[in-house]
Structures are given as C-alpha cells and as structure tokens.
Amino acid sequence: MGEWFGVFLKGLAKGPEIILGGGFGVYAFFMAAGRFAGDIFISKHGHTKVLRIGGQLVVVGMAMVIISANPWWVFPGFMLIGLGISVASPILYGEAAKVPGLPPGAGLATLNTFAMAAFLGGPVLIGFIAKALDLRIAFMFVAAAAILWVLQTYAIGKKKRGFLKL
C-alpha cells in the first residue's frame, strides 16, 4: 500500500505536491506505533480479536481512502490502515512457528514465502489493475482482501481450537 499513497494523493485526490510523502508518513508512523503498543492489546484481548479489529480498521481506512475526493480526508484512512496492519505480521509469524505437525522453521518459511510474494507482487498487481481500470478500483481489491481477513478471524474464533485460539 505504501507505494501507492503518493500516486493516489497526486492523481486522484489532487493533493498539492508538498503533502505527497505525508500519506506514507502517516501510514508508517501509525504502523510503528501500533507495533509498539500491540503487545498490550494482545495480552488483554487475544490474538484473534486483535487481528479481527486490525482487519476492521483496514476495511474502514480503505473505504475512507476510496470514497474521499479531498486530499486531507485520506490521511485518517492511511492512519487506520497502518494501525490495522501493524500487529498482523508479528502475530502471524509467532503463530506460524506453532502450527501443529509442522516444524517451527517450516511454518515460518511457508509464511515468509507468502509474505515475500505479497511484498513483491502486491504493488505490481495494484499497478496493473490501476492502469487497466482505476486506482480506486485497485484499492477496492485490497479492501476486499481485508474483508476476507476479518471473515477468517470470525471463522477461527468459532473453532475454539487450532492456531489463534480466542
């Protein structure tokens, strides 16, 4: 997402050049703040609930970015996106080392393979969709992925067993 905030601010939200890096700055600041504070929330609410809330923050943040025409209104959306994804990676890496029947290194390697594929392919896929259709539509695909993330946390919470117990 970070790669596309400046493009979005300049192209679709018609933001002045002086604020173009600000979108990524807000996103990165709140992602870091969320990681620093994340352990407190995880210890109080559990992995699954924190992941669910994080996904919900990303969905709301993406909606704010997608529907906003004012460049200043997208900043709270970037804030929510950064905050929402901040603890997902640490939680998932921690749990990947505990997958039943899988050595810890294999679980971590598997997760890292998917993470690297997303890191390398995500910006390209967003760019492809943006070029073919529109950047807002590309962001809708990201929002849809966040909705799937939230739905998965509900499914995991209902199982009451396996990884990411409530």
Q: Report the CATH number at residue 52.
A: 1.20.1250.20
For residue 126, being part of any structural domain is answered with yes
pLDDT digits (tens, 9 = 90+) for 128-163: 999 999 999 999 999 999 999 999 998 887 775 555
Nearest one of 60, 64, 40 to 136, comparing CA atoms = 64
For residue 165, being part of any structural domain is answered with no
For residue 166, being part of any structural domain is answered with no
Contacts of 22 (CB under 8 A, 6+ apart): 9, 75
Q: How many domains does the chain have?
A: 1
Helix (H, G, I), strand (E, B) or coil at 163: coil
pLDDT digits (tens, 9 = 90+) for 28-47: 999 999 999 999 999 999 99
3-state helix vs strand vs coil in the chain, percent to 5: 80, 0, 20
Locus of tokens 């997902």: 88
Question: 15 lies in which domain range?
Answer: 2-159
For residue 69, being part of any structural domain is answered with yes
Average pLDDT over residues 9-32: 83
